[in-house]
Amino acid sequence: MTVTGRVIAFVAGVGLCTTLSCGGVACAQDMEPRAYSASPIDTNFLITSYVRTTGAVSLDADLPIQNIKASIDAGLIAYQRTFDLFGQTASATIVVPFVRGQISGQVFDAPKQVTRQGLGDIRMRIAANLIGNPAQTPAQFAERVPLTTLGVGLTTIAPTGDYNSQHFVNVSSHRWAFKPEIGLSQPWGDWFADASAGTWLFTDNANFFGGHVRGQEPIWTFQAHGGYNFRPGLWLSADATHYFGGNTIIDGINSRDFQTVTRIGATLSIPIVEGFSAKAAWATWLTAHKNGGFDTIALTLQYRWFDP
């Protein structure tokens, strides 16, 4: 590899770990059980979460940076509403993150550390059921017989977060990202199982570090969850995800940093009082090639209310 090639690969490699909020790697690691389970229309959710992610990042051995470790803390606030869409239940969600992260490593054997914090990229999602979850009021929904549900969703991430092209490490990815997805939820008495498949698609960051243009190939994602309902609002699930792809491209040069990662975790939902519930989630990596070796914990408080 030429000196110029090594510099571009270095920039591309650092770019894999430099987006602290909703970059390709962070997005692909999402695991959300019951994302396509049935719900009534005219329901509102206000959600706050704290997420901590820690781990190591792997880059090419030829590059002059080693032992990269990241510690990222994120606070999220979200609002979701369900509604009737052509006789089926649909939902719209918006998520606003605030992120603080530290990344450390050795550059030419000299220890370096950077800290970034600020507003992250806003995430929006719209989803609709295709079968198994007709639009029902909360009263009608309480009398329903649980059925298999199949739905589709589209997540969009807007480049609204803090970004400085003079920095390797940024809170924002400074690009748009889109994830079309299809998901299935199957109840069996008190047991349930979910599965979904989707693809992250990215626009280019035309103002990447050093005046370069950074692109990224699609990342294909798959999730599976299985769990048990102990009583309404109290459930436990085992979670797994696998994703692959995401080669980065700097000024038209493919960095060949193909990722393939398998992650596992668990989620516990606990009702508190009427309308309030809490969730705790944990995830770690089972296999990881070119990033993905992260541990994550998340704590969530949710308030639900119905329209009159």
pLDDT in tens, 33-81: 999 998 999 999 999 999 999 987 655 544 556 677 888 899 999 999 9
| pLDDT at position 108 | 63
* Structure tokens belonging to residue 58: 């792997």
End-to-end CA distance of the chain: 66
Q: What is the pTM of this model?
A: 0.88
Residue scoring higher pLDDT (70 or 136): 136
Q: How far is CA 132 from CA 37, 148, 184, in A?
A: 9, 5, 10
Sheet containing 205-208: give its strands across. 205-208, 212-216, 248-250, 253-254
Q: Does residue 97 lie in a domain region?
A: no
Give me the helices (H) in the chain, please.
3-18, 24-28, 138-142
Q: Are 194 and 184 in contact (CB under 8 A)?
A: yes
Q: Is the pLDDT of residue 262 over 70?
A: yes
Q: Does residue 223 lie in a domain region?
A: yes
Q: Does residue 15 lie in a domain region?
A: yes
The residue behind tokens 């949710």 is: 302
Q: Which of 80-89, 100-109, 168-177, 204-213 has the lowest mean pLDDT?
A: 100-109
Q: Does residue 144 lie in a domain region?
A: yes
Q: Are 49 and 299 in contact (CB under 8 A)?
A: yes
Q: Does residue 155 lie in a domain region?
A: yes
Q: Is the pLDDT of residue 206 over 90?
A: yes
Q: Does residue 72 lie in a domain region?
A: no
Rounded to whole angstroms, the Cα distance separating 52 from 295 reads: 8
Amino acid identity, position 195? A
- Per the structure, the complete domain to which residue 240 belongs is given by 3-41+81-92+120-272+283-292
Domain count, the chain: 1
